[in-house]
Structure 1
Amino acid sequence: MSLLLEMTTVTVLALVITVVLRLFVAEAFYVPSESMYDTLTTNDRILAEKVSYLHRDVDRGDIIVFKDPGHWLNEEQKEPGTLRRVGEFVGILPRSGEGHLVKRVIGVAGDKVVCCDKAGRITVNGIPLDEREYLLKDAKPSTTTFSVVVPPGSLWVMGDNRAESADSRAHMGGPGGGFVPVDNVVGRACCVIWPSDRMTMLRPPETFKKPGLKK
């Protein structure tokens, strides 16, 4: 009985620690689509860390995991089974992506984001972005024109695979105007953890460090 009690206590403590880590430190997710290709691809397992946003705001260039701000996910997604749900909750299995999206932050509150300048580049506060570091080769930054000012508490997000991403641009005419509430952000995608041949750290591109970009 003593051994059984000890094993039960250790198991419960381990599960509690795992759940706490998942809720407040980091959480694993499946990538649900090709909208971030080829930075991320379908069924990549990514780690969304939550610690950095405890001491800083979401910034331009971050790849974020966020809750669907309102019917962005059009395709039906398979409902996970009970065992799958339990595994996801305690953190031993990555979340399936259900109800969550992964995009790159292009503009934060107060930014004016425009597509496009005469050279076909997206500009943020009048500064053109050099997106060749993460866009597909020869891909246009956007075939949709727009000029928006990001409202307080919101973000403007876009997928790296612009031709296949139903991001902020696709929802400008809907509720919220295509903006994502900061409160919907679950965490910052910091690395690909599986499959092994795609393991890599995810860092903000250099273009978002340009002088004058921040207002």
Structure 2
Amino acid sequence: MDTEAQHMERDRSSCPPDGAEEGSRSTHVPDRSAASLSWGRTVFLGMLCTVALLLFSSFVLQPFLIPSGSMQPTLRVGDRVLVNKLAYRFGSEPGRGDVVVFDGTGSFIQETESDVDGVGALLRGAAASLGLAEPAGSDFVKRVVGVGGDRVVCCDKRGRLEVNGTSVDEPYLHPGDRPSDVAFDIVVPDGKLWVLGDHRSNSRDSRDHLGQPGGGMVPVERVIGRVDWLGWPLGRLGSLEGTDAFTGIRPSDADHG
């Protein structure tokens, strides 16, 4: 009898009190609603950050992937540069020596119908605006050599570029390149730009469109922004070095009236 009582007491002591079993089990059941809410917040924050980046890129500072060597050695293939979209927003206009990104539609390339793949085009555009993909085929990066009213000639007796009668030494040119293998003598219309690549022997620029409608002149309103900084690779991180090559260029005769 004593032995049986002891066994019964042990059995009672091993059983949890009423409701304890259910409580212990409930602690192991995952709260799916909380997990779902946390996941939803993560997705929302990710989308919010992406939208904020796209807006910032659209109106303030846009990463731009350099797709070719036409601007070497200033810019190299694969560089990510930061384009200042506010540089010309408040009455200021591109100046000689500025490195600019512009839409070449109508000047460097012909007007074309919009891409029928709307979703694909949108995704590619978003990736390009974040510097994750090559820019649109209509976007170019070049250096401004002539602004409205300038007479730009190549070349003088020493083989240098000449702007409004003043010869220009161009230290940014690719080693071994001449200012141009193509002779030209042009006057830049008001509101237009004459642009060249720093790697003159490897650049399709205003010179290549001399005989076409527009003559290779880029409308100022097509300029997307000025390249002010290098963002990648890390070894080249910093502001883009300016040039004083055009310092002292006098206004064109047309400006004197």
List structure 1 runs of 4+ shifted beyond 6 angstroms.
none
Q: 2:73 aligns with which of 34, 38, 43?
A: 38
Q: In the comparison of the two structures, how many residue pairs are matched?
A: 208
Residue pair 1:136, 1:161 contacting (<8 A) in 2 also: yes
Residue equivalent to 1:195: 233
Residue equivalent to 1:85: 124
Residue equivalent to 2:145: 106
Rounded to whole Å, the distance in 2 between the matches of 1:95 and 1:155 is 27
Rounded to whole Å, the distance in 1 between the matches of 2:77 and 2:109 is 15
Q: What SS class does the counterpart of residue 59 from structure 1 fall into?
A: coil
Q: What SS class does the counterpart of residue 144 from structure 1 fall into?
A: coil
Which structure has more relative contact order (CA 8 Å, sep 6+)? It is 1
Runs (5+) with no aligned partner, structure 2:
1-32, 111-116
Residue equivalent to 1:48: 83
TM-score, structure 2 as length reference = 0.72
Q: Does 1:169 align with 2:207?
A: yes
Residue equivalent to 2:182: 144
Per the TM alignment, residue 9 of structure 1 is displaced from its structure 2 partner at its CA by: 5.0
Rounded to whole Å, the distance in 2 between the matches of 1:87 and 1:176 is 30
For 1:72-96, what per-residue CA distance to the aligned partner results, in whole angstroms no more than 9, with x for missing partners? 469xxxx9x949527526x544451
Residue pair 1:31, 1:46 contacting (<8 A) in 2 also: yes
Percent of pairs identical after alignment?
Answer: 39
Q: What SS class does the counterpart of residue 16 from structure 1 fall into?
A: helix
Mean Cα deviation higher: 9-18 or 40-49? 9-18
Residue pair 1:28, 1:95 contacting (<8 A) in 2 also: no
Residue pair 1:62, 1:203 contacting (<8 A) in 2 also: no
Per the TM alignment, residue 201 of structure 1 is displaced from its structure 2 partner at its CA by: 1.9
The Cα RMSD (Å) is 2.7
Residue pair 1:69, 1:180 contacting (<8 A) in 2 also: no
- 1:150–1:86 CA distance, 2 compared to 1 (3 A): closer
Per the TM alignment, residue 8 of structure 1 is displaced from its structure 2 partner at its CA by: 5.3
Residue equivalent to 1:134: 172
Q: Which amino acid aligns with 2:184?
A: F
Residue equivalent to 1:63: 99
- 1:28–1:92 CA distance, 2 compared to 1 (3 A): closer
Determine which structure has more spread, i.e. the larger CA radius of gyration: 2
Rounded to whole Å, the distance in 2 between the matches of 1:199 and 1:4 is 36
Residue equivalent to 2:217: 179
Runs (5+) with no aligned partner, structure 1:
none
Residue pair 1:46, 1:192 contacting (<8 A) in 2 also: yes
Q: 1:117 aligns with which of 140, 146, 156?
A: 156
Mean Cα deviation higher: 5-14 or 163-172? 5-14
Residue pair 2:152, 2:186 contacting (<8 A) in 1 also: yes
Q: What SS class does the counterpart of residue 52 from structure 1 fall into?
A: coil
TM-score, structure 1 as length reference = 0.84
